[in-house]
Amino acid sequence: MRLLREGKVKNIFQLENGNLLLKFSDRVSAFDIKFDQRIPNKGKVLCKFANFWFNKLDVPSHFIGLRQENAMEVRKLSMIPYEFIVRGYYYGSMLERYTTDTDFKYLFGVNLTLKKGEKLPYPIFEITTKSEEHDVPVTRDKVLDSGILSGDTLREIEDISLAIYKTIGSIAKPSGFIIADVKLEFGFDERNELNLADSIGPDESRIWLERDYQPGQTQGSYDKQLLRDWLIEIGFKQEMLRLASRGESPKPPRIPEFLINEISDRYIFVYERITGENV
């Protein structure tokens, strides 16, 4: 087994049979900043959640099976160098990018005034670049101009992504959770057929407890948004933006112990509630 790449969260190994092993670590990142500290049980939860969703979704994927509690075997794909996001709620980066009625009219065809965290008229599909440094939104036209995807394939990805969002939302709802958005990745297999790739879990979704949901408020997150919210609260994101204008990056702050424990507890809680399985 040979290490191919160490990512923000996952290490990717080449197996002797030609497949890959994705090993999920307890590492954590936010706003594309990697932190030195670890979140206990995070890797195990992410891996087991991926196993749960891949087995629930009726979509071709690279998933073969779990090999350890924090590692899964997958087929090697030719990965598409974009990430595909479905958003069902006005939250996250949408708050910065869509601020006026005119912006929403571009999206939905009507003037809207939406509160932070409010449900969108219908889920929207977005595309971003895929980078270890910083993902940025990209237009459909730019994707098509790149020649990486055809119009038909992009429409297929959109249809599959919207269907996945609907399915995971309906599965999470009886457990009392809202899936606010989800980030997906795709690749092509040896027959050039489209496959769902990477993983789905609290690192790829915003997950809210329905009983606590209040439009207009910062939502209580059962994902790594909890860390992002803390970084915003202490002014770290603002400092990040200030230094970015000079081509610099700030040193990541030390995550307080109470927050590390809270993130770990919430990852475990949401996994056990939605799947009905123990970590």
- Condensed to tens digits (0 to 9), the pLDDT of residues 28-48 reads 999 888 899 999 999 999 999
In this structure, what are the phi and psi dihedrals at residue 61, rounded to the nearest 5 degrees?
A: -145, 170
**How big is the CA angle at 200 (ends 79 and 157), to the nearest 5 degrees?**
50
Along the 279 residues of the chain, how does pLDDT read in single tens digits?
899 999 889 999 999 999 999 999 999 999 888 899 999 999 999 999 999 999 999 999 999 999 999 999 999 999 999 999 999 999 999 998 999 889 999 999 999 999 999 999 999 999 999 865 567 899 999 999 999 999 999 999 999 999 999 999 999 999 999 999 999 999 999 999 999 999 999 999 999 999 999 999 999 999 999 999 999 999 999 999 898 888 888 899 999 999 999 999 999 999 999 999 999
Q: Are 271 and 257 in contact (CB under 8 A)?
A: no
Q: Are 176 and 273 in contact (CB under 8 A)?
A: yes
Q: Are 11 and 23 in contact (CB under 8 A)?
A: yes
> Tell me: the pLDDT tens digits for 59-89?
999 999 999 999 999 999 999 999 999 999 9
Distance CA 272, CA 268 (A): 6
Q: Is 18 helix (H, G, I), strand (E, B) or coil?
A: coil
Annotate 148-183 with DSSP letters as a single string: SS-HHHHHHHHHHHHHHHHHHHHHHGGGTEEEEEEE
Distance CA 176, CA 270 (A): 10
Locus of tokens 């995807």? 149
Q: How many other C-beta atoms are found inside a 10 Å radius of the C-beta of residue 93? A: 15
Burial class (CB in 10 A: 0-12, 13-18, 19+), 110: exposed
pTM (2 decimals)?
0.94
Output helix, strand, coil percentages for the chain, rounded to the nearest 5: 35, 30, 35
Domains of the chain: 2-74 (3.30.200.20), 78-223 (3.30.470.20)
